[in-house]
Chain A
Amino acid sequence: MVIELICRGCTMSHLIRGNQEEDFRWGTQISVSTSNNDIRYYRSFIYGSVEYSLYDCVCLFREGAKETDIGQLIRIWENKQGRRVKILWFFRPIDIRSFLRDYEPSWNELFLASGEGKGLCSIVPLEAIVGKCSVICTSKDCRNTLPSKSDLGKAEYFFSHAFDVGNLRISEEFPDKIDMVRVERLFNQEKDKLKANVECITGVAGGARERGKSMHSVQKDGQVGMAETRVTPKDSIVKDETSRTSEEFKQHRSEYKPLNNLTLKDSVVKDVTSRTSEDFKQYVSENQPLKKRKIQIKEEADSANLVPSIVEDPKSILDPLPSYGGKSPPTNLSNSYNQHQSAAVADKEASLPAKRTTANKDKRSWFYGLPWEEKLKNAEERGTLVYLDNLDPSFTSSDIQNMITKVFKVEADARVIPGQALVDFNSKDDADFVVQELREKCLMIGGRLQLKALLILAISPAFAPKKRVMILAFLDRRPVVATRKHLGELGKSCSFPGCLIIEKSKKWKWSEDKKHANELSRCKNQPKRDRQASETPADGGSGTSLSLACKQTVGEVHHKPHF
C-alpha cells in the first residue's frame, strides 16, 4: 500500500510547519502499529529533496557537537509527538579511542555499534537529519558483499569492525542481529552494486571529485550556520549530477522497488535527483534557518518527554579519556567540514611520503625549478656538495648518479653542467670520502664504445668554503653596468646598419670574437701539452693508446659550449 501523504504535522509547532511542508514527503508506509493506531511506520521519506530509506546512513546534527554523528536509519515512524527515526550509531575512532587497543584506524574509518547497552541506538526527531552519508562495509564477513574499488573511492567512510557497547571491545566478527535488525541489512547490499554500475554508466564522478566540489561549496556558503554547512556538501553532489532527469530517476527507483527494504545505504546515487544549480541555490537559501529549526525541535522534543538523545550525546559515556594510541585521525574536530577534509587529505598524504617524493622527481623536467637551487644552497651550507670535472659531456644526470652509487656505494643527487657535474651527497662524510678517494686515486670512465676509447675522469673536488661564495654570488648577481641599463630601456629589436648603435655593437662582437679566439688558441695548444704529459711515462703500448684517448677527451671537453 503506497500512501503518499503530505505530513500534517499535527503535533508540530506551527512555526516549523510553514517551512516543512514543501520539502517533506513520506514514502512507502509499511504498517500501522497494532496496539496504537497513531503510530505509522514508513520505509522511506523525502526530506529536503533527498530521499531517505531504511538502512541509509545519515549524518545527524547534535547541539554543541563539532562533527556530525553518523548512523543508520533502522526505523522510521510518525506518532503524536512527531516524526521519529531510530538510529543505529556509528562511532568515529575518536569516540572510542580508549578502547581501540592496538588497532590503528584509518582517518575515515567508522565502527558499527553492536551488542547491548547505552549508546547503541537512539530515537531522534527526524528533523535532526542533516544529510546522507556514504558509508561502506569492507568487512570480509561472508554475509557482506565486498565493495568495488570505485565504490570505495566514492565512499566517505567505511567500516570493517563492530564496537560492542556492552563489553567495550572492537571485533571483526559481526553478531547476527544488532538491536533486532539482521546484520545483512546493515552490510553492503547487492543493490548497491547494481547502483554502482548505473553510476558508472551515467558518468557520475569519483568520490574524490565530489568531495572536492563539496568542499568548494562549503567555502562558498562559509558564513551560514554549522548545521547548514553540513547539509551543503552532501547536496552539492546532487548539483553535480544533473545528468539524469528526475523522471528517469524515479523510474530507476521503481525498478528497484522490490529490493527497497533491503537497502543498507543508497549513498550517492539516490542523490541524483537532478537539480539545476538555481534550484540548488534556492534550496540553500530555503534551508538557511535549519539550525534554528533544529533547536525548536529540540525544545519540542524535550517538552514531549521523548528521548532527547540528540542533545544528550549518546556517546558521551565513551568519550572523555584522552589517551589515544592509534594513528591520529583528524583530531582537531574542526568546525567546518572544509577543515576536516583538508586534515584528512593531509593525513593521507603523510601516509604516502614515498610516493610523493617520486612524483616530485618526475615533475622535475629539464627546466630548473627552484627546488634544485634551494637544494644546492642547502648542500652548500652543509658541505655536501661536490664538483666533478672532466666528465664526458654526453653524460646525463642519471648516468652520474648511477656511477656514484656503483663506485662509491652512496646515494647522491647529481646535476650535470656539460662536462661537469654538481653532486649533492646525503651527508658530509659521504662527500668527504668521495673527494678523498678521487684525490688519491684515479677513476677511469670508459663508455661509449669499448675500453679502448677510454675517457679519463679527473676530478677536482669542490672546496666547500670557496663554493659557498660562488653559489651565493650566483644567486645574488652583481649590479649591471650603467650603459646597459640605460640603453636597455630603448628596447629589443634588430638594429640595422645606419643606426648609431651598430658601431658599438660591432665593438661588442669584436670583444666576443676575441674571447672566442682565446678559447680556440687554448684548444690548439692542447695536444702539445698532452704530449708533454704523456711522453714521460709512456713506456707501454697501452700507455700510448690511453694518452691518445686522453687527447681526444681533453680536446672535446674544451670545445664544449662555453658558459
Chain B
Amino acid sequence: MASAMETDAKNDYDAFMEKVKRTVYLDNLSPQVTEPVIKTAFEQYGNVTNIHFIPNYMDSYYNSRCALVELETAKQAANIIDMVSTYPFMMAAMPRPVRARPAEPEMFDERPIKPGRKIQFYWLKPSDPDFEVAKRIKYLVKKHSQERSFLLKKQQEEEEKLSRQQYETLKGHYHKFESLESVQLDSKHLAKCYNMNLADENGY
C-alpha cells in the first residue's frame, strides 16, 4: 500500500518534471498581455497547452508580469526560447522585448512533493550559540527584501521614464512625417500654380 503510494508520488513528480521541460518562463511582459495574446504569439512556433501568469503579490508597484507557458513538446519550448533570445520579441507592447528562459520547478506554485524527501525542523533556543547567527540572518533577509523592493521601485520609475521619453520621440517623429507630408502637398499645389510638371522630374 505504502509502496503503491510512493510510486504514485514518483509518477506524479516525473510527470511534473516533464511538464517543466515543456514550459517556457516569460519575463518582462507588459501588463496588457493576456492569455489569448500569448497564445496567438506563440502559436506560430508550437502548440500552447497552458498559460499561467505568476501573480506578483508582494511588489505590486512593479507592473511587469511574468508567465509560464506550457507547450506541447520540449522541442517547441526550446525553439521559442531560442527565437525570443535571438530577436527582440514584442508582445502587445512595442518597444518592450519579452524575455524567455526555460522554466524551473521552483517557479510552479502548485507542484508535487519531490518523492523521498523529508523536511526536518526545530526551534533554536535562545541559549543556543547559533541563535544569534539565526537572528542576524533574519535581519539580513529582511534587509534584502527591502533592498529588493527599493530596486524594483527604481526600476519601475526608470521604465516609466524611458517609456515617456520614447513616447515623446514618437510624437516628434510623427510631427516630422506630418510636416513632410504637408510640404509635399504644398509643393504639388505650388507646382500647379506655376504650371510645372513635378512628376516628370521627380518621378511622382
Assembled-state Cα–Cα distance A93/B144 (Å): 67
Q: Are B119 and A474 in contact (CB under 8 A)?
A: no
Assembled-state Cα–Cα distance A538/B129 (Å): 8
The answer to whether the Cβ of A244 comes within 8 Å of any Cβ in the partner chain is no
A-contact bits for B15-40, CB 8 A (1 contact / 0 none): 00000000001011011100001001
Q: Which residues of A contact B130 (CB under 8 A)?
A: 537, 542-543, 546
Interface 9-mer from A283-291, A335-343, A413-421: A413-421
Nearest to A439 among chain B residues (CB) is: B138
Nearest to B51 among chain A residues (CB) is: A367
Could you list which residues of chain A lie within 8 angstroms of chain B, going by C-beta atoms? 364-368, 373, 376, 387, 389-390, 393-399, 402-403, 406-407, 415-420, 422, 441-448, 451, 456-460, 470-471, 473-474, 477-478, 480-488, 490-496, 500-502, 504-509, 511-512, 514-515, 518-519, 522, 529-530, 533-534, 536-540, 542-543, 546-547, 550, 554, 557-558, 560-563
Assembled-state Cα–Cα distance A530/B137 (Å): 8
Assuming A394-B106, A508-B95, A511-B162, is B120 touching A445 (CB within 8 A)?
A: yes
The answer to whether the Cβ of B132 comes within 8 Å of any Cβ in the partner chain is yes
Assuming A366-B109, A494-B83, A501-B90, is B137 touching A487 (CB within 8 A)?
A: no
**Minimum-distance CB pairs A-B, first 4:** A487-B94, A458-B138, A504-B95, A533-B136
Max count, chain B CB within 10 A of own CB: residue among A402, A417, A420, A530 = A417
The main secondary structure of chain B at its interface with chain A is: mixed
Assuming A486-B167, A558-B144, is B55 touching A373 (CB within 8 A)?
A: yes
Q: Are A533 and B30 in contact (CB under 8 A)?
A: no
The answer to whether the Cβ of B133 comes within 8 Å of any Cβ in the partner chain is yes
Assuming A508-B97, A543-B133, A561-B104, is B32 touching A492 (CB within 8 A)?
A: no
Could you list which residues of chain B lie within 8 angstroms of chain A, going by C-beta atoms? 25, 27-28, 30-32, 37, 40-41, 50, 52-61, 63, 66, 83, 87-97, 99, 104-114, 117-126, 129-142, 144-145, 147-148, 151, 155, 158-160, 162-164, 166-167, 169-170, 173
Q: Are B92 and A488 in contact (CB under 8 A)?
A: yes
Some 10 contacts from A to B, beta carbons below 8 A apart, are A367-B110, A393-B106, A420-B58, A444-B122, A458-B139, A458-B140, A506-B88, A522-B148, A546-B133, A558-B144
Q: Are B123 and A474 in contact (CB under 8 A)?
A: no
Assembled-state Cα–Cα distance A540/B127 (Å): 13
- Neighbour of B66 across the interface among A459, A560, A563, CB < 8 A: A563
Q: Which residues of A contact B108 (CB under 8 A)?
A: 366
Q: A451-B120, A560-B106 are in contact. List 13 more A-B contacts (CB 8 A).
A: A368-B109, A396-B114, A442-B123, A458-B141, A480-B63, A483-B164, A484-B96, A494-B89, A496-B87, A504-B94, A512-B99, A537-B136, A561-B27
Q: Are B90 and A368 in contact (CB under 8 A)?
A: no
Assuming A477-B31, A481-B160, is B134 touching A456 (CB within 8 A)?
A: yes
Q: Are A534 and B136 in contact (CB under 8 A)?
A: yes
Assembled-state Cα–Cα distance A417/B144 (Å): 16
**B34 CB, nearest partner CB in chain A, Å:** 11
**B24 CB, nearest partner CB in chain A, Å:** 13
**A535 CB, nearest partner CB in chain B, Å:** 10
- Neighbour of B110 across the interface among A365, A390, A444, A554, CB < 8 A: A365
**B121 CB, nearest partner CB in chain A, Å:** 4
- Neighbour of A492 across the interface among B55, B92, B142, CB < 8 A: B92
Q: Which residues of A contact B41 (CB under 8 A)?
A: 492
Q: Which residues of B contact A509 (CB under 8 A)?
A: 88, 97
**A366 CB, nearest partner CB in chain B, Å:** 4
Q: Are A537 and B120 in contact (CB under 8 A)?
A: no
- Neighbour of B63 across the interface among A376, A478, A561, CB < 8 A: A478
